[in-house]
Amino acid sequence: MLINLPYPQKSKAWHFRFLMLLSVFFSLIFLFSYKKSNGSKANLFVEHPALEDRSSGELSLLTYNIAGLPAIISSAETPRASSIREIGERINRFDIVNVQEDFNYNTELYSFNLHPYRTQTMGTVPFGDGLSTLSKFPIMESQRIAWSDCSGSDCFTPKGFSYTRIQIAKDVFLDVYNIHATAQDNKNAVAARKKNLKQLAAFIHENSECQPLLIMGDFNAHYAFVEDNVRDFQKEIHVFDSWTLLRNKGLVPEHQEDFVASHALNVTDDCESIDKIYFRNSDQIIFTPKNYQVQHDLFSTDSGQSLSDHCAISLNLEWELTNSSQDTSVVNDELLLK
């Protein structure tokens, strides 16, 4: 997206129109001056040593919208180049990271980053989708899919979702999705966002049926917002929301007729964020979520300013290969009861 503030924000409609005009202006500039950056040492299908034959392990996960739009149109308060360079270094502690809005500062993001496997950027605005995946485990496949439907300034880039297949042990693979859905709460944006999630669900049905899943990204959606269909998406592809399981007693928030979202930087561990981490068990792997956390301190300056206009969301996820005596459906029921 080009402007990513939490909805509802109707009182700032003039602000969005102004920024959309700015976006058009800068998009024209980039069309004539664009030189594609493939990032610093961006590796994807590099050679890697054979992974251990393991039956269990733990993954540290992170999803983060890093506000990588050109500084003049970014809503983040800290300088973009230096902030994103700092983000790239601080995410080193996580095993698998999905970032969104990785547009104009990919070189900075990758410059001090040590993940050996990283997807290659599509480029700056208006060429890139802003989606990057960084991993300590080999990325075996990668694909980007643009949304079929968009709205407003979100149509200025090929925004959508990405798919990667990541190998975490010998013969153990995860399908990992990175998503950035349409923003805002006006009629057209809501309609596009609903279609975004339907498109993603259809792709998962076709390409990841029966596979263990991770879906991490900026959904721009809340369970509590009546118009959103995120709960329908969750049910259709049978994924678990790590926040509801660990921080909300397994309960999906009820619809609120007069729902007003908190600003993205004001979320805490105990309130729903538009940035979400979902997972799905399979007949091969069972996940156990641990330690969901909104990483305020890690991604703030010494003076307390956030390095982006979103909070980073982390999760530790234990995994274990199933055996013939385990019933995955029983494990899923037990997760819901915890």
Task: Render pLDDT for 173-211 as a digit per residue (tens, 0 to 9).
Answer: 999 999 999 999 899 999 999 999 999 999 999 999 999
Is 307 part of a structural domain of the chain?
yes
Percent of the chain with pLDDT over 90: 78
Please name which of 220, 242, 252, 248 lies closest in space to residue 150, comparing C-alpha atoms.
Answer: 220
- In the numeric block, which tokens belong to residue 10? 């109707």
Rounded to whole angstroms, how far apart are CA atoms 259 and 211? 35
pTM (global) more than 0.75 = yes
Q: Tell me, what amino acid is at 98?
A: N
Which domain CATH number covers 317? 3.60.10.10
At 92 the three-state DSSP class reads helix
Report whether the peptide linkage leading into residue 8 is cis, meaning its omega lies within 30 degrees of zero.
yes
Rounded to whole angstroms, how far apart are CA atoms 129 and 120? 11
Is 105 part of a structural domain of the chain?
yes
> Which of 86-100, 120-134, 256-270 is predicted least confidently?
256-270
Is 2 part of a structural domain of the chain?
no
pLDDT band (50, 70, 90) for residue 161: very high
pLDDT at 9: 36
Is 1 part of a structural domain of the chain?
no
- Cβ count within 10 A of residue 124: 25
Task: Render pLDDT for 61-115 as a digit per residue (tens, 0 to 9).
Answer: 999 999 999 999 999 999 999 999 999 999 999 999 999 999 999 999 999 999 9
Task: Render pLDDT for 192-201 as a digit per residue (tens, 0 to 9).
Answer: 999 999 999 9
pLDDT at 333: 57
Mean predicted confidence (pLDDT) in 265-292: 96
Distances (CA, A) of 38 to 26, 123, 129, 157: 20, 7, 13, 17
User: What are residue 276's DSSP bridge partners?
Assistant: 217
The parent domain of residue 79 ranges over 10-337
